[in-house]
Amino acid sequence: MDRKRPARGTSNRPPRNTTKADLVEKRRELLETYFENGRQIASELVAELDAARKRIAEVEDENTRLRMQLKSDTAIRDLLTKIEALESERRELLSRTSEVEQRARSEIERAMAVESELSNLASLYVATSQLHASLDPRDVVATLGQLLLQFVGAGAYVVYSAEGDRLVPVATEGMPLESVTEAIVGQGIVGGAFIGGAPFVVRTEDRDGPMVVVPLRVGEQVVGAVAVFALLEQKTELDPFDHELLRMVSAQGATALAAARLSAAASGSIPPWSSAER
């Protein structure tokens, strides 16, 4: 095996004049240097190890922090989702509440309308039944008057009974009977109400004349008429239900009066209406 010769002056072999003490010293220096280097390396390694440990600790801390943040973010995300769901639920509940409120209002209005309709039907029923409750013409006329006063709110009215083509006033309210003149069927406001066949006629242009005239007619037979001249103080105008009542008066009042007159005439107990009865 080829062994390289060390370069001159660099050989480890001690010079020929070197003493044993020198060698020992040299060895000691060499060892010291060796150990010094080892210590230095070991110290550097320890420092690096410390730094690495520190770094690991930092990374672990960072990792923990990030993990916690991630957890926190997830919780926030969950909460936000929950809030959104609750908001949606709230909106839905509000909408449903509004819907229910609207439905309740509508039901109340409907109930009130039904109550009002029921009240009107009761009035019509009572009025009709009372008109037909007696076969005495005087009772029927009195009932017609009560109906006009109490149900329609007529403060001044005249009830006429037909005698041939004459309309004789037989009952009044709010004006003396003596002050009311007879009317002729087909003439004037009261007598003219039979022309045209309307259930009742409303006139407003003549302030002294009647505001409403209700002809009482059974088929083609004229039975009488009702004229309203004024309403009660608290009644400002006729409403749609008053018109219903007047239509009923026109039909049922005429029938009731005709039946009562026929019955009275047949029994002879009460003579037909005449001017003398006024």
**x/- letters, 141..170, toward other proteins (CB under 8 A):** --x--xx-xxxxx-x---------------
| Minimum distance, C-beta of residue 271 to other proteins, in the bound complex (Å) | 25
| Minimum distance, C-beta of residue 263 to other proteins, in the bound complex (Å) | 19
* Residue tagged 């390289």 (tokens): 4
If the CB atoms of residues 193 and 245 are measured against other proteins, the closer one turns out to be: 245
If the CB atoms of residues 57 and 112 are measured against other proteins, the closer one turns out to be: 112
Tokens of 152: 């329609």
CB contact set of 26 (below 8 Å; sequence gap of 6+): 14, 18
d(CA 205, CA 214): 17
| Minimum distance, C-beta of residue 253 to other proteins, in the bound complex (Å) | 13
If the CB atoms of residues 128 and 250 are measured against other proteins, the closer one turns out to be: 128
If the CB atoms of residues 75 and 112 are measured against other proteins, the closer one turns out to be: 112
CB contact set of 167 (below 8 Å; sequence gap of 6+): 160, 161, 182, 183, 184, 185, 190, 191, 222, 224, 225
| Cβ neighbourhood burial of 244 (10 Å; 0-12, 13-18, 19+) | middle
**x/- letters, 210..249, toward other proteins (CB under 8 A):** ----------------------xxxx--------------
CB contact set of 133 (below 8 Å; sequence gap of 6+): 139, 143
* Residue tagged 């103080």 (tokens): 233
108 forms part of the interface with other proteins (CB under 8 A): no
Instruction: Name the residues that contact other proteins, by CB under 8 A.
Output: 112, 115-116, 118-119, 122-123, 125-127, 129-130, 133, 143, 146-147, 149-153, 155, 232-235
